[in-house]
């Protein structure tokens, strides 16, 4: 198993020598050596034992531990000792770091010749980071010859082609970059290369604030290629890691992954994903963070096979093992790369089995796993988890109230499944009346829907049951606007329609309070409740209650697409969106285009996606305009057309679309975004 040492060095993949990479990042990134937080010293003991028995990989890992000083006192001399043992056995990573150590004089006398010797050995084995160092510090790169510096320092070459006589110091690199930046009419590629070289030099000098400033300058250069921009974001993230600023590092790696113009399976994205997973592991050990970290590793699995993928997944296994997950059960979905419910269960099990987890964190894990178990239909197991959560002391009152309410809802769901309507109503009512739960807690919205459904099952249409159902639904309309409410109102409309009423939730507000007065008389026969005349519409006409209501069809599509109140069904969502889209509903046209774009519920078809995006875009929908620009930019469903792409990006940005603005800014075209968008 390869270690995570130097895994963040740009160009770590075997085939990366054909692309411009960040030279000098080995010295900057030696902190990435597989040393994720440990719960015990037994890992260290096992590594040392294997290293003493001659295992080159273990020797390299032990060198990395002493180099970074995590879990032990930092000791470059001891790091040197173990790197040398691994390097003598041909370990390319160890050879590379020996070169860095000799160059920096860490634990040894600075020796450029010895540094070059080990870097050449590493480069001869295809270690791209070593190749890149030799490329940047090639012949004529000394302080006395700045005129030889050019934008071509990143030109591709094969390993073994480098025989530099002198490796310049970081100060000399800074002088060379100053010379480049001082030239009149300097192009964006040369300017970008100079700033990036400055960032590498400051990293070598261990001045992270200045390194950060230099790479930020590189990111401000307009007109650079998407690959260059993504790599600069990655270096920015590496610097934040050195500063232990995990949140900013995660943001930088996310920016690298989301750089517009990169191919979906651009190989360096594998490294970006792994870096982000590493940063997430350090940022926090809570349930959500671990889920997110494992999700990043699963995304790597979706990439085509390559040496980079193999290396990063081997490194990923170390991350999994360090948080208590066995590499063999990182998920049942290892072949497909999909992130599964079993993954979440494994993560929860791993966290709950640890003795060093804060009780408040365990509470969150129990509650989170209960939700997952409930979604899987394992409601009794979910109740057991909630019972365990509620036994934990010192939990804040609102969190405890939420768990108590969740337990009542689960029991109500179980009662509903058994058609025990009376008990279901009682449990849903307990959930709604849980002490400490805010009056308008949005979790109550769905519970009110469930209680209304239980009343319908119990009352079988009698007048009192109908009034109680309508009272529950009316309460939903009184909640402040929220995403939960917006997603539930279409479900309310469907329930009204089933009761023979107009599918317009607004009609509930028009019913007088006297209508909901308790009626203890049991009618001999069901009585149909008529809504106020102003809420009625003729079937087949637009507007509330009409079958041709495009907005209602769109909202139903949203329900099916999201699985809110109904079983998620993309095919049914497609039908609903199409009915609304055919009537000119822009939101439905965007949604339908999105399903064709992603291939959910239909066969993936970029041309069909473009058709619907164009319809919505012509109605002024900013999201559709951005997606249309993206299709033209990538040549998906049409011939690639940068001018047409730019036109739609500018239209979208003019309406405030964040994605379009980001694209224009990151491509250096933001200053022109006010241009005509006809």
Q: What is the pLDDT of residues 87-110, one digit of tens each?
A: 999 888 888 888 877 876 767 777
Distance CA(443)–CA(370), nearest Å, equals 16
Structure tokens at 480: 């402040």
* Rounded-to-integer distance, Cα 565 and Cα 550, Å: 20
Tell me if 366 sits within 8 A of 395, measured CB to CB: no
Q: Could you give the angle at which helices 268-283 and 307-322 cross, rounded to 10 degrees?
A: 10
Spatial contact of 136 and 153, defined as CB atoms under 8 Å apart? yes
User: Is pLDDT at 473 greater than 80 in this prediction?
Assistant: yes
What percentage of the chain exceeds 70 in pLDDT?
Answer: 70
Chain-centre distance for alpha carbon 584: 33
Q: Is residue 43 part of a domain?
A: yes
Q: How confident is the model at residue 584 (pLDDT cuts 50, 70, 90)?
A: very high
Question: What confidence score (pLDDT) does residue 608 get?
Answer: 93
- Residue 152 falls within a domain, yes or no? yes
- Please give the Cα distance from 16 to 607 (Å, whole number): 33
Q: Kindly state whether residue 73 falls inside one of the protein's structural domains.
A: yes
Q: Which helix (H) or strand (E) holds 413?
A: helix 397-417
Per the domain annotation, does 306 fall within a domain? Answer: no
Q: pLDDT grade, residue 249 (50/70/90)? A: very high
pLDDT digits (tens, 9 = 90+) for 423-445: 888 989 998 998 888 888 888 88
Distance of alpha carbon 536 from alpha carbon 4, whole angstroms: 66
- Could you list the residue range(s) of the whole structural domain that residue 108 is in? 1-183
- Domain membership of residue 139 (yes or no) is yes
For the chain, counts of helices (H) and of strands (E) = 30, 0
**Could you give the C-alpha distances from 192 to 208, 230, 663, in angstroms and in order?**
19, 12, 18
Mean pLDDT for 7-28 is 30
Q: What is the DSSP string of 315-335?
A: HHHHHHHHTT--GGGS-TTTT
DSSP SS3 for 556: helix
- Which one, of 226, 200, 206, lies nearest residue 22 by Cα? 200
419-425: long-range contacts (C-beta < 8 A, 24 or more apart)?
419/457, 421/454, 421/455, 421/457, 421/458, 422/458, 424/450, 424/451, 424/454, 424/457, 425/451, 425/454, 425/455, 425/458
Q: Does 193 reside within a domain?
A: no
The more confident residue out of 622 and 323 is 622
Distance CA(99)–CA(102), nearest Å, equals: 5
CA diameter of the chain: 104
Q: What is the residue whose two structure tokens read 């005129």?
A: 147
Q: Which of 14, 566, 589 is nearest to 267 (CA)?
A: 14
What Rg, from alpha-carbon coordinates, does the chain have? Answer: 31
Cα separation, 131 vs 116, whole angstroms: 11
Mean pLDDT score across all residues of the chain: 73
pLDDT band at 617 (very low <50, low <70, confident <90, very high): very high
Q: Which helix (H) or strand (E) holds 85?
A: helix 76-88
CA 81-87-89 angle, 5° bins: 115
Where residue 280 falls among pLDDT bands split at 50, 70, 90?
confident
Distance CA 662, CA 514 (A): 54
User: pLDDT tens, 36-64?
Assistant: 333 335 577 888 888 899 988 889 888 88
From residue 571, how far is each of 408, 577, 595, 612, 648 by CA, in Å? 33, 10, 9, 17, 29
Number of domains in the chain: 1
**486 inside domain:** no
Name the residue among 475, 530, 474 with its Cα closest to residue 499.
530
Residue indicated by tokens 């469907």: 494
Sign of CA dihedral 425, 427, 432, 434: positive
Q: What is the mean pLDDT of residues 70-88?
A: 85
Phi, psi of 601 (to 5 degrees): 85, -10
pLDDT in tens, 523-535: 333 333 333 333 2
C-beta of residue 385 within 8 angstroms of C-beta of residue 366:
yes
Tokens found for residue 155: 């030109």
Higher pLDDT, 134 or 166: 134
CA atoms within 13 A on the CB side of 30: 32
Tens digits of residue pLDDT in 481-514: 888 888 888 888 888 777 767 777 777 776 666 6
Nearest to 410 by CA among 456, 372, 460, 455: 372
217 has a pLDDT exceeding 90:
yes
Instruction: Give residue 317's Cα distance to chain centre.
Output: 19
167 compared with 215, residue with greater pLDDT: 215
The DSSP code for 671 is G
Domain for residue 419, yes or no? no
| Bigger pLDDT: 672 vs 582 | 582
Give the number of C-alpha atoms closer than 13 A to the C-alpha of residue 80, restricted to the C-beta side.
17
34 dihedral zone (left: phi>0; alpha: psi -120 to 50; beta) = left
Confidence of residue 515 (pLDDT cuts 50, 70, 90): low
Q: In the numeric block, which tokens belong to residue 455?
A: 């009343």
Residue 12: DSSP 8-state: -
Can you give the CATH number for the domain in which 149 is found? 1.25.40.10
Structure tokens at 573: 């969502």
**Which candidate, 237, 207, 232, 200, places its Cα nearest to that of 218?**
232
What would the pLDDT profile of 23-37 be if each residue is shown by its tens digit?
333 333 333 343 333
| Model pLDDT, residue 254 | 94
Residue 267 tokens, joined:
């190989």
315 vs 6: CA distance, rounded Å: 11
Is the pLDDT at 583 greater than 70? The verdict is yes
Residues 34 and 10: beta-carbon distance below 8 Å = no
Indicate whether 472 pLDDT > 50: yes
Q: Provide the residue count of the chain.
A: 678
- 378/413 Cα distance (integer angstroms): 11
C-alpha pair distances (Å), 310 with each of 7, 317, 329: 12, 11, 18
Buried-exposed string 158-185: b where 16+ CB fall within 10 A, e elsewhere: ebeebebebbbbbebbbbbbebbeeeee
Q: Using an 8 Å Cβ cutoff, are 633 and 642 in contact? A: yes
């Amino acid at each position: 198993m390869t270690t995570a040492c130097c895994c963040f060095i740009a160009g770590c993949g075997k085939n990366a020598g054909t692309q411009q990479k960040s030279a000098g990042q080995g010295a900057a990134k030696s902190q990435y050596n597989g040393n994720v937080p440990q719960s015990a010293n037994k890992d260290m003991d096992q590594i040392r034992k294997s290293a003493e028995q001659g295992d080159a990989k273990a020797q390299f890992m032990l060198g990395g531990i002493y180099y970074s000083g995590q879990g032990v006192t930092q000791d470059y001399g001891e790091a040197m000792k173990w790197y040398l043992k691994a390097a003598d056995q041909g370990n390319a990573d160890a050879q590379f770091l020996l070169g860095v150590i000799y160059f920096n004089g860490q634990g040894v006398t600075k020796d450029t010749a010895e540094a070059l010797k080990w870097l050449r050995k590493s480069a001869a084995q295809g270690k791209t980071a070593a190749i890149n160092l030799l490329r940047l510090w090639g012949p004529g790169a000394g302080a006395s010859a700045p005129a030889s510096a050019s934008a071509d320092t990143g030109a591709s070459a094969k390993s073994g082609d480098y025989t530099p006589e002198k490796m310049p110091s970081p100060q000399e690199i800074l002088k060379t970059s100053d010379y480049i930046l001082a030239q009149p009419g300097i192009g964006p590629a040369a300017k970008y290369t100079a700033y990036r070289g400055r960032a590498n030099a400051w990293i070598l000098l261990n001045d992270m604030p200045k390194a950060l400033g230099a790479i930020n300058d590189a990111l401000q250069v307009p007109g650079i290629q998407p690959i260059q921009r993504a790599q600069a974001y990655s270096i920015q993230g590496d610097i934040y890691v050195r500063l232990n600023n995990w949140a900013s590092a995660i943001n930088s790696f996310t920016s690298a992954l989301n750089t517009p113009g990169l191919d979906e399976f651009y190989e360096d994205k594998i490294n970006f994903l792994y870096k982000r997973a590493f940063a997430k592991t350090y940022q926090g050990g809570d349930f959500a963070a671990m889920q997110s970290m494992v999700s990043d590793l699963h995304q790597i699995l979706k990439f085509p096979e390559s040496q980079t993928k193999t290396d990063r997944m081997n490194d990923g296994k170390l991350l999994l093992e360090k948080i208590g997950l066995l590499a063999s059960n990182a998920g049942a979905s290892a072949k497909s790369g999909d992130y599964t419910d079993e993954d979440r269960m494994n993560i929860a099990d791993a966290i709950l089995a640890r003795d060093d987890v804060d009780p408040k964190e365990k509470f969150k894990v129990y509650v989170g796993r209960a939700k997952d178990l409930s979604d899987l239909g394992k409601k009794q197991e979910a109740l057991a988890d909630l019972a365990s959560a509620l036994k934990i002391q010192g939990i804040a009152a609102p969190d405890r109230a939420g768990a108590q309410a969740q337990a009542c809802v689960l029991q109500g769901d179980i009662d509903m499944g058994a058609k025990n309507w009376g008990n279901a109503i009682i449990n849903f009512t307990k959930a709604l009346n849980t002490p400490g739960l805010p009056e308008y807690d949005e979790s109550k919205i769905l519970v009110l829907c469930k209680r209304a459904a239980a009343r319908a099952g119990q009352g079988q249409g009698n007048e009192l049951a109908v009034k109680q159902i309508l009272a529950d639904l009316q309460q939903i309309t009184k909640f402040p606007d929220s995403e939960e409410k917006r997603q539930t109102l279409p479900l309310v409309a469907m329930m009204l329609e089933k009761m023979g009423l107009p599918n317009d939730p607004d009609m509930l507000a028009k019913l007088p309070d006297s209508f909901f007065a308790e009626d203890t008389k049991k009618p001999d026969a069901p009585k149909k409740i008529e809504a106020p005349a102003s809420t009625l519409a003729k079937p087949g006409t637009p507007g509330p209650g009409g079958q041709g209501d495009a907005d209602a069809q769109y909202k139903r599509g949203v329900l099916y697409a999201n699985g809110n109140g109904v079983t998620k069904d993309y095919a049914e969502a497609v039908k609903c969106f199409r009915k609304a889209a055919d009537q000119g509903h822009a939101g439905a046209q965007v949604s339908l285009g999105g399903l064709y774009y992603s291939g959910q519920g239909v066969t993936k078809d970029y041309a069909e996606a473009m058709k619907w995006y164009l319809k919505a875009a012509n109605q002024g929908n900013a999201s559709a305009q951005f997606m249309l620009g993206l299709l033209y930019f990538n040549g998906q469903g049409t011939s690639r057309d940068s001018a047409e792409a730019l036109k739609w990006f500018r239209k979208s940005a003019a309406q405030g679309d964040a994605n379009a603005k980001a694209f224009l800014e990151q491509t250096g075209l933001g200053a022109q975004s006010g241009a005509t968008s006809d």
